[in-house]
Amino acid sequence: MAQPEVFALPRDVTLCSDFGSNGNEYRLLTVSADHASRLRCKLEAAQSQEQTDVGTAETGDDVRMAKKHRRQTLMVMKGDGHLLLHDDERTFRVRRVEYSNTLLLAEKRPNSCGDVYLVPESDKNACFAKQNDQEKAMFKHVVVCSTERIFEVRQAVALRNTIKLLLQHPLTMAELDRSLSCDAKEDVPVYLKGCATVDSHIRTYTFPQLVMLSYSSGPELATNLFEMGAVVYGGHVRLLEPSLMREALHAAVVHFEGLDEPSWEAAIVALCPSVYPEIVLQAVRAAYGQPAGVVVEGRGDAAVVGTAALVQVNKTLKAFAATVILSAGKGINNTSEEVGNLGVTAEFPTLPFEIFFEAWCNLIPASFFTSGAIPPPSEKTALMKLLYGSVIIVRRKQNNSYTDAVAILVTEGALSEDVPQRLEQLFTLNTGRWESEELRVYVEPLLESGVMFDHIIHRYAKEYRVPNRSTMYGRLV
């Protein structure tokens, strides 16, 4: 499709014959100069590749095939409630801007009525002044459509709506066991061959389907899925049941603690397939394992070894905290009408802090403490900061004491992805004052590029400054 130009209306502009019928053919977008440059580079590269392919084509069919392969989707507009745009790298928020005047979009086309003049080499200098006039005679601008709106494009945060979608029907151990029993005589498990069957009542999605449903680009979605330990099962993208992931993580950590030189490979050999299918441990490794080449420093700036060097410590601690609160069986679910009216779509399990803290510390491997990867249990406040973004501690007293405090688990997808609504939910769960560092963890992932937490938080929260303490925030009354 030709690239339309926007310009002041000169005399040599005409309307195309089908102007009235193709008014919806174009969408006018405003993008940054950097983004426009990236798109031009992609178009030029595609055109260059087409010329190469056409030049080497032997038949007319080959030429048509080369042109077909050159076609590429540069940008996709989508959204349900949120109008978004994404290319093959980033996600953008789209805002429709209405104009009182009509904008005409025109493209440059050859003038069929114009004559082409061949200028001899000897007369080039003499005719140089006439070249611009000749070019104008050879081309004309044809208005192809009109519009009264422009879509303003700004880079946005990739939201995790597909994670919630996949967690509605997670992959369970029962499904994996059924797939193994269906083909027990063969050496290769069914889930590794891509032949697994899925119950008809379970809604599953392929990766292209998830890209179209997600509020993000393909690479951003792939990164989020990898961080969650997603697997391809029966040709569809699935997330393992969260409780299964936490259980397998704990089993792997216990195995690490019993070895002098632990490794993921050794854990997989020991636990698979007798305890878990290999796909489970591979998913746990993807979600909680330390990336290759990353050196973890302890409290004394020395590199930690053992279990703490194999797993992402903070993420593992949060998983253990969820295990304690969810498995206690004595949690009080916050289902107040006030919270329900705020759009909370998941329960917030709670547990008395002292019970939670003792059980959580018992679950943490001893090597985390001895290697200096985390503070000791005696430094309770420093240790609890590692759970920011996952566990909220609500103190019943204002003297910074943990007496009668309550631990609230914030599960995946429990909070809104809208900044004002999320802050209102947080201030409902904890009506007291929040440390700025803790509140920042919940808000910053939702902020667009260039937007600072310190600049926007004053719109929704009241600031409190206390001597010898960090800045705190409370509900804006």
Q: Total domain count for the chain?
A: 2
151 and 284 assigned to the same domain = no
129 and 259 assigned to the same domain = no
Structure confidence at residue 199 (pLDDT): 55
Residue 312: inside a domain, yes or no?
Answer: no
Look at 249 and 70; give whichever has higher pLDDT. 249
Residue 171: inside a domain, yes or no?
Answer: yes
Residue 282: inside a domain, yes or no?
Answer: yes
Q: Which of 248, 270, 289 is the last residue of a domain?
A: 289
Residue 467: inside a domain, yes or no?
Answer: no
Q: 106 pLDDT exceeds 90?
A: no
Q: Per-residue pLDDT averaged across 373-399, rounded?
A: 89
Torsion sign, CA atoms 432, 436, 437, 441: positive
253 and 165 assigned to the same domain = yes
Q: What is the pLDDT of residues 260-319, one digit of tens each?
A: 889 999 999 999 989 999 999 999 999 999 887 777 766 666 667 789 889 999 999 999
203 and 281 assigned to the same domain = yes
33 and 132 assigned to the same domain = yes
Q: What is the pLDDT of residues 74-87, one digit of tens each?
A: 888 887 767 788 88
Q: 420 pLDDT exceeds 50?
A: yes
249: left (phi over 0), alpha (psi -120 to 50) or beta: alpha
Q: 191 pLDDT exceeds 50?
A: no
Q: 26 pLDDT exceeds 70?
A: no
Tell me the CA end-to-end span of the chain in Å, nearest whole number: 54
DSSP string, 149-181: EEEEEEE-----HHHHHHHTSPBPHHHHHHHHH
Q: Which of 155, 174, 205 is the last residue of a domain?
A: 155
Structure confidence at residue 153 (pLDDT): 84
48 and 125 assigned to the same domain = yes
**Alpha helix stretches (DSSP H) within 71-156:** 124-127, 131-138
Structure confidence at residue 201 (pLDDT): 64
102 and 165 assigned to the same domain = no
174 and 86 assigned to the same domain = no
Give helix 218-227 / helix 278-288 axis angle, nearest 10°: 110
Residue 107: inside a domain, yes or no?
Answer: yes
Q: 69 pLDDT exceeds 90?
A: no
Residue 48: inside a domain, yes or no?
Answer: yes
Print the domain residue range for 141: 13-155
Look at 41 and 2; give whichever has higher pLDDT. 41
Q: Per-residue pLDDT averaged across 197-202, rounded?
A: 58
Structure confidence at residue 303 (pLDDT): 66
Structure confidence at residue 331 (pLDDT): 42
115 and 228 assigned to the same domain = no
138 and 220 assigned to the same domain = no
Is the CB of residue 143 less than 8 Å from the CB of residue 104? Answer: yes
Q: In 194-289, at which residue ranges do the beta strands (DSSP E only) sit?
A: 231-233, 236-238
Q: Which of 231, 263, 289 is the last residue of a domain?
A: 289
